Structure 1
Amino acid sequence: MSRGRRTRLTDSPEFERVYRQGKVYRGRLFSVHVFPNGLGHPRLGLSVSRKVGGAVTRNAVRRRLREVFHGSVGDEQGGVDFVISARPAASEASFHDLKEEFERALRRLEVGGG
């Protein structure tokens, strides 16, 4: 899957649509909201607040979550938007812990992958 602009959720109204109309998984490290997008490919939106840490920490969490997403979700999931909202515990979690929790979220939300 290409990791360019087409795989990112960037507009505030798109985030709001996923938050309001989608299904949600709430975990210890992050929450995951999902909603069909009708585009034929999955997209990812990330929300990492200052509660998670300083800029360097937040960017590291974003990079790891993006890598977890791309390693777990492929085009076979079809047109689904994902919004991952990191919790402060995500800054201390290992990559393995993040991946494990994301795969648990996929199973609970009944989205392919994992």
Structure 2
Amino acid sequence: MTRARKMRLTDSRDFERVYREGSVYRGRLLSVHAYPNGLENPRLGLAVSKRVGSAVIRNKLRRRIREIFFWRRSRIDGKGYDLVVSARPAAASASFGELEDEFDRALEKLVNGTGEGRGDV
């Protein structure tokens, strides 16, 4: 498995499309938006605002979320989804395991079929 650039969502138009047209999971630690991208591989976009904490904390959260995405990628390979993950302020004090659990719940509802449709899941 590779952590190639093609796995990242970087264009602001792609972010806007996922926010506007995709489904959303809102949890205590993370908000995850998902939208089918028509590609073979999933892509990840991150939004971690300054409300979450200092630059050190925000970067640590980004690294953790990317790692979780990398290890969960096999669940969504071939389904072609763009995911935008927004960290909430509570994520700053969450453990890695708590972030994993929240991400797993979001994937289950958004990508694996238990939370179809647009809007809150």
Aligning the two structures, in what range does the TM-score lie when normalised by the shorter sequence? over 0.9
Distance (Å, rounded) in 2 between the aligned partners of 1:99 and 1:40: 24
Q: Give the drift of 1:4.
A: 1.4
Cα deviation 1:11-63 (Å, max 9, x = unaligned)? 11000000000000000001000001111100000000000001111000000
What number of residue pairs does the alignment pair up?
112
Quick one: percent identity of the two aligned structures?
60
The answer to whether the 8 Å contact 1:77/1:111 transfers is no
Aligned position for 1:85: 86
Summarize the Cα distance change of 1:32–1:93 in structure 2 as closer, same or farther, 3 Å threshold: same
1:103 paired to 2:104: yes
Aligned position for 1:13: 13
- Deviating above 3 A after TM superposition, structure 1's stretches of 4 or more consecutive aligned residues are none
Aligned position for 2:119: none
5+ unaligned residues in a row in structure 2: which ranges? 114-121
The answer to whether the 8 Å contact 2:52/2:87 transfers is yes
Aligned position for 1:33: 33
Matched residue SS, 2:106: helix
Distance (Å, rounded) in 2 between the aligned partners of 1:52 and 1:77: 32
Matched residue SS, 2:77: helix
Matched residue SS, 2:39: coil
Q: CA RMSD in A?
A: 1.3
Normalized against structure 1, the TM-score is what?
A: 0.93
Distance (Å, rounded) in 1 between the aligned partners of 2:93 and 2:21: 30
Distance (Å, rounded) in 2 between the aligned partners of 1:15 and 1:102: 18
Normalized against structure 2, the TM-score is what?
A: 0.88
Please tell me the residue identity of whatever aligns with 1:100: D
